[in-house]
């Protein structure tokens, strides 16, 4: 059995609520990327999942999302003198979480230049950065593909296009071509897929080959979790609602 969540985006409290439904002895946890950005507690999300992976490496799969990739590319691949130039506003909340929220660190974050912010995180959190940077793009089983955004269905072997795994949206979601296995993905909130922002439950394509699970938690909606059999059948859905933290099991 698999226990699947996605697009946590710094919502640590909601993630912990979702993890309370995970059967550690019988289910493999699979996180479909975008651990960070937008939400208030990205550092805790990264550290919690890193610790879980260290304790149970065979029971925890954490994939890389586009936000995780751009954050580590900025901090690990950019020459030090250019850190300020490549600073992205989308990482602002993540940077704040890496500084911490006690008054002294809040003021330090405000005072530091963009370059100094990059240097600060590089110096103090290299283990967390390496954890994010080394995350795989995809997890494939006999009957399922788990990925952040989707796969390229227009090439002979979808595995050859890693960029699509992190960035694709409509060409995958609305493609009439069937996927070779059932694909579980996040990245695009399900309310946007069905053009109804009030419905953030999981989305399934007409053929049942694509399952979207991003409930837009960081935008005030919900964190979806799925219990999935090894055959790819959805056994249970769990919704962790952003505003109340209450969970609804179906």
Query: Cα separation of 129 and 76, whole Å?
Result: 8
Question: What is the C-alpha separation between 167 and 188, in angstroms, rounded?
Answer: 10
The per-residue pLDDT for range 43-87, each reduced to its tens digit, is 999 999 999 999 999 999 999 999 999 999 999 999 999 999 999
147-177 b/e (C-beta count within 10 Å ≥ 16 → b): bbbbbbbeeeebeeebebbbbbeeebbebee
Residue 197: what pLDDT? 87
pLDDT tops 70 at residue 104 = yes
Residue 31: CA count within 13 A, CB half-sphere:
30
Q: Which two tokens stand for residue 106?
A: 């809040």
Residue 150: give its domain's CATH number.
3.60.21.10
Beta carbons of 1 and 229 less than 8 angstroms apart: yes
Domain that holds residue 234: 2-249
The whole-number pLDDT of residue 243 equals: 61
DSSP state of 145: E
* Overall domain count for the chain: 1
Q: pLDDT by residue (tens digit) across 182-225? A: 999 999 999 999 989 899 999 999 999 999 999 999 999 999 99
Please say if the pLDDT value at position 246 is more than 50.
Answer: no
Kindly tell me if the per-residue pLDDT of 247 is higher than 80.
no
pTM of the model: 0.96
Task: In whole angstroms, give the CA distance from residue 158 to residue 210.
Answer: 14
Flag whether pLDDT at 117 surpasses 60: yes
The pLDDT of residue 26 is above 80: yes
Question: pLDDT tens across 157-194, in order?
Answer: 999 999 999 999 999 999 999 999 999 999 999 999 99
């Amino acid at each position: 059995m698999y226990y699947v969540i996605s697009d946590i985006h710094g919502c640590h409290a909601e993630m912990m609520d979702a993890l309370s439904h995970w059967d550690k002895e019988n289910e493999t946890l699979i996180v479909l990327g975008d651990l960070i950005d937008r939400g208030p507690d990205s550092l805790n999300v990264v550290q919690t999942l890193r610790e879980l992976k260290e304790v149970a490496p065979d029971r925890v799969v954490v994939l890389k999302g586009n936000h995780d990739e751009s954050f580590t590319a900025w901090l690990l691949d950019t020459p030090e003198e250019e850190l300020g130039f490549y600073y992205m506003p989308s990482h602002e909340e993540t940077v704040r979480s890496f500084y911490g929220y006690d008054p002294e660190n809040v003021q330090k974050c405000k005072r530091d230049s963009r370059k100094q912010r990059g240097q600060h995180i590089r110096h103090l959190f290299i283990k967390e950065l390496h954890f994010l940077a080394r995350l795989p793009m995809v997890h494939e089983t006999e009957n399922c593909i788990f990925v952040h955004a989707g796969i390229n269905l227009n090439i002979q072997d979808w595995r050859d296009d890693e960029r699509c795994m992190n960035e694709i949206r409509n060409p995958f979601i609305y493609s009439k071509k069937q996927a070779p296995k059932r694909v579980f993905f996040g990245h695009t909130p399900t309310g946007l897929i069905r053009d109804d922002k009030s419905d953030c439950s999981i989305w399934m394509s007409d053929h049942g080959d694509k399952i979207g699970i991003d409930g837009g938690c960081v935008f005030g909606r919900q964190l979806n979790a799925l219990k999935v059999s090894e055959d790819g059948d959805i056994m249970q859905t769990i919704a962790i609602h952003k505003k109340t933290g209450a969970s609804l099991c179906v």
